[in-house]
């Protein structure tokens, strides 16, 4: 049993072959966090890990027999008002105005498997043997409220998941104003914090900062999870940690709303990590017999560097977060018409593009924005999910069947969470938009946000889009969301503090209902590009559009940062037209193809405008991708360079049995008469020999990982190379 409770020392040891996590019940009934790190042998008593030192002005909550002080204790779920002056994981406003709580241990339960979280996405198990879980119940007697801390440890992954649940049993109404999903404390501050930050068209750039005394944090207040600016993921690594060696602790939030990821270093160099729903704009009232469940935090421990952390997240999220048909299934190679036509299309033009796409070997045609209502520009039509018969006289059903007859699958773009003022939906239901009475609403892209915390609004949109999908051959849906939330006020909610959280639950409920109705539907998430690329959405949408920026050179950085946490199988990545629509850069078809093969492959261009040479290149790309798509999707991914620092971007995937590898390299700079450039590989079998497919040369595995492989001499700027290796 990988979770043990030692009755004598009141200690819980959560462990597997990779890690140990130790927590205990203190003298005052609260929980202490004793250890988190590499797996250690179990023993009856780990009390030597408790630090107890008399300090000047120390606030002592238990004076006898020791000197227990919350200010200098590594707490499991800290609260304010106990003599601890650091930031708390929980703030509860009581009827008398007090925020001081005292949750003491009552009971615990250890069980096989993992329970579902009500209304929320989370990692899961398919048998009780895959993981073991622990529920620790604490109770505040004044409020008569339970706090349940839940832990799950997977058997085969270096992973522990955390969440918290509050249950109000008393008669008074309490208000939750801050509820973190997890808190972890470390005894020192010798770490660097990694986070993924950016903006539209440069999402998830890797940022690293040394921890200092005080608070460092990343957060989102955009209402939509990560937004393009901050991703719900942080990691702490030791300063000497590299891609392949050293300790790193990853924290990922399985939620698509406002979040806070905070690291606080005390003046005694203790480090407290907390992650959960952002308290700004959030409050939740609980009356008798009501509960509140926090989203899940997924914690990964690696002593094999950053690649070890990333590969753990990749494997777990591909196998036990994504669901359904497309979890471990080859995704269709698609062509999207957006950059080919924007809003300017009719059925004839679309069918011509689809025909040309079929000729070069594309498998799925996706019709993007502009097919519904009066949607001829950004100012109108959102909310009216009925077909624009002026553009498509035979409707989506007629168009999809014609495209299916060509031998292509058909996909459709939607933006169901939005509404334009110039729409039938808004004119009939202006109260369905999030806006504050008496104030001019804040617009973005000329649209407002529908109130998905309202069941009537969600049901209307659900019925509208299923009326289309029920009668058409739609096998793929691109779920877009092109703005963040402002003016968060619901005309239906009596208490506004719950709207943001209920909005996210409304989105999850909609997606869940959609997938139950259409179990074979592939949904790709999108939010102004990569603005809602988070683990919560992966539960429903097994691939997410990585960025609206399709420039191959910029994409090396975006996809590099994304890979720290998210698997290649989740990254929507396409070959687009040149000059690139975001940067104006011109790169070769080959270079664009190499960049796009680090993800779910597809095209964003008009194949009718391609010359014979370009069409031949696409056919060759598709043949190569089909040969390697299983390896790309399921192999171990390694970062071989840092495109923020190096002159080239390089990465590779290796099969589980180490028999095949695909290495991709893109030169980022051009130099006259450059020095020789080698790329050093990873994950190969040391004692094996590998043949390079193009040249026929045979290399020892150890030599590939130690000496590397020489890249061809540069001929032009932004050249790309793919090295295909197979064990002899």
Secondary structure (DSSP) of 180-207: EEEEEEES----EEEEEEEETTEEEEEE
CB atoms within 10 A of CB 49: 15
Query: 303, 319, 502, 548: which is the annotated catalytic residue?
Result: 548
Query: Which of 308, 232, 270 has its CA nearest to residue 19?
Result: 308
* Cβ-based neighbours of 417, under 8 Å, separated by 6 or more: 449, 450, 452, 481, 507
User: pLDDT by residue (tens digit) across 304-342?
Assistant: 999 999 999 999 999 999 999 999 899 999 999 998 999
How far from the centroid of its chain's Cα atoms is residue 664's Cα? 24
pLDDT reported for residue 185: 97
Phi, psi for 467 (deg, rounded to 5): -60, -30
Say whether the peptide bond before residue 65 is cis (omega within 30 degrees of 0). Answer: yes
Three-state SS string over 336-395 comes to: ECHHHHCCCCCHHHHHHHHHHHHHHCCCEEEECCCCECCCCCCCECCCCCCECCCCCCCH
pLDDT reported for residue 63: 67
The two three-digit tokens of residue 443, written as one number: 């617009």
pLDDT reported for residue 9: 96
Paired residues of 471 in beta bridges: none
Query: 480, 502, 534, 551: which is the annotated catalytic residue?
Result: 480
Question: For the chain, which residues score pLDDT lower than 70?
Answer: 63-66
pLDDT reported for residue 44: 94
* Cβ-based neighbours of 349, under 8 Å, separated by 6 or more: 341
pLDDT reported for residue 259: 97
User: pLDDT by residue (tens digit) across 570-604?
Assistant: 999 999 999 999 999 999 999 999 999 999 999 99
* Cβ-based neighbours of 218, under 8 Å, separated by 6 or more: 195, 197, 230, 231, 234, 261
Determine the length of the chain: 728
Any catalytic annotation for residue 459?
Answer: no
Q: Positive or negative, the Cα torsion across 253, 254, 260, 266?
A: negative
Query: Which of 20, 18, 27, 22 has its CA nearest to residue 6?
Result: 22
pLDDT reported for residue 65: 63
Any catalytic annotation for residue 548?
Answer: yes
Give the burial string for 665-695 (b: 16+ CB within 10 Å, else e): bbbbeeeeeeeebebebbbbbeeeebebeee
Q: How far apart are CA 601 and CA 576, in angstroms?
A: 11
Q: What is the DSSP letter of 48?
A: G
User: pLDDT by residue (tens digit) across 696-712?
Assistant: 999 999 999 999 999 88
* Cβ-based neighbours of 480, under 8 Å, separated by 6 or more: 369, 413, 414, 415, 526, 527, 528
pLDDT reported for residue 69: 81
Q: What is the DSSP letter of 313?
A: H
Residue tagged 């008496």 (tokens): 438
3-class secondary-structure state, position 626: helix
Q: Positive or negative, the Cα torsion across 391, 396, 400, 402?
A: negative
- Rounded to the nearest 10°, the torsion over CA 482, 362, 649, 697 is 170
């Amino acid at each position: 049993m990988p979770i043990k409770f030692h009755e004598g020392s009141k200690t819980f040891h959560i462990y597997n072959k990779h890690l140990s996590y130790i927590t205990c019940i203190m003298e005052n009934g609260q929980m202490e966090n004793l250890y988190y790190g590499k797996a250690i042998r179990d023993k009856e008593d780990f009390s030597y890990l408790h630090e107890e030192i008399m300090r000047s002005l120390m606030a002592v909550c238990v004076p006898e027999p020791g000197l227990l002080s919350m200010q200098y204790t590594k707490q499991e779920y800290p609260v304010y008002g106990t003599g601890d002056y650091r930031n708390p994981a929980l703030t509860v406003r009581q009827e008398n105005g007090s925020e001081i709580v005292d949750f003491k241990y009552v009971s615990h339960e250890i069980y096989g498997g993992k329970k579902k979280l009500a209304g929320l996405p989370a990692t899961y198990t398919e048998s009780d043997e895959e993981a073991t879980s622990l529920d620790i119940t604490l109770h505040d007697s004044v409020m008569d409220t339970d706090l349940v801390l839940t832990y799950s440890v997977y058997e085969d992954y270096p992973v522990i998941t955390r969440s918290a649940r509050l249950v109000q049993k008393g008669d008074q109404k309490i208000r939750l104003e801050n509820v973190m999903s997890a808190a972890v404390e470390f005894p020192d501050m010798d770490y660097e914090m990694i986070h993924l930050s950016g903006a539209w068209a440069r999402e998830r750039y890797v940022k690293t900062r040394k921890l200092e005394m005080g608070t460092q944090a990343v957060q989102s207040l955009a209402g939509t999870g990560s937004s393009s600016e901050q991703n719900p993921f942080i990691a702490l690594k030791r300063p000497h940690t590299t891609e392949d060696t050293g300790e790193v602790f990853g924290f990922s939030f399985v939620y698509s709303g406002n979040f806070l990821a905070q690291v606080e270093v005390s003046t005694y160099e203790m480090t407290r990590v907390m992650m959960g729903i952002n308290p700004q704009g959030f409050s939740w009232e609980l009356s008798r017999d009501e509960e509140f469940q926090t989203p899940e935090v997924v914690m990964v421990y690696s002593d094999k560097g950053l690649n070890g952390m990333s590969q753990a997240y990749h494997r777990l999220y591909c196998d036990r977060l994504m669901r359904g048909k497309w979890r471990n299934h080859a995704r269709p190679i698609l062509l999207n018409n957006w950059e080919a036509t924007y809003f300017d299309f009719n059925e004839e033009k679309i069918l011509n593009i689809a025909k040309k796409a079929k000729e070069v070997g594309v498998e799925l045609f996706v019709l993007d924005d502009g097919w519904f209502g009066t949607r001829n520009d950004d100012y109108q039509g959102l909310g009216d999910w009925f077909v624009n018969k002026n553009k498509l006289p035979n409707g989506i059903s007629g168009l999809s069947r014609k495209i299916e007859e060509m031998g292509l699958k058909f996909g459709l773009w939607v933006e169901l969470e939005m509404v334009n003022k110039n729409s039938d939906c808004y004119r009939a239901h202006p109260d369905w938009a999030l806006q504050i009475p008496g104030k001019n609403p804040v617009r973005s892209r000329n649209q407002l946000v529908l109130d998905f915390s309202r069941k009537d609004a969600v049901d209307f949109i659900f019925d509208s889009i299923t009326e289309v999908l029920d009668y058409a051959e739609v096998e793929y849906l691109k779920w877009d969301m092109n703005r963040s939330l402002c003016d968060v006020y619901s005309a239906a909610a009596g208490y506004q503090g719950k709207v943001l959280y209920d909005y996210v639950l409304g989105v999850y409920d909609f997606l869940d209902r959609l997938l139950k109705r259409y179990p074979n539907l592939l949904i790709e998430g999108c939010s102004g590009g990569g603005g809602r690329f988070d683990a919560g959405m992966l539960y429903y949408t097994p691939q997410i559009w990585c960025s609206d920026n399709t420039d191959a050179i910029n994409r090396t950085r975006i996809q590099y940062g994304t890979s720290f946490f998210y698997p290649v199988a989740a990254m929507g990545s396409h070959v687009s037209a040149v000059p690139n629509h975001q940067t104006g850069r011109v790169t070769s078809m080959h270079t664009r193809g190499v960049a796009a093969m680090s993800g779910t492959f597809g095209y964003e261009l008009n194949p009718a405008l391609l010359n014979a040479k370009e069409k031949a290149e696409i056919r060759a790309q598709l043949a190569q991708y089909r040969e390697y798509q299983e390896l790309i999707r399921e192999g171990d991914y390694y970062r071989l360079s840092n495109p923020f620092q190096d002159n080239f971007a390089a990465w590779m995937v290796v099969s589980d049995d180490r028999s095949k590898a695909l290495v991709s390299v893109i030169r980022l700079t051009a130099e006259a008469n450059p020095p020789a450039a080698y790329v050093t590989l990873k994950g190969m079998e040391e004692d094996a020999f590998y043949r390079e497919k193009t040249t026929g040369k045979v290399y020892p595995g150890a030599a590939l990982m130690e000496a590397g492989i020489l890249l061809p001499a540069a001929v032009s700027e932004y050249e790309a190379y793919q090295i295909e290796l197979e064990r002899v």
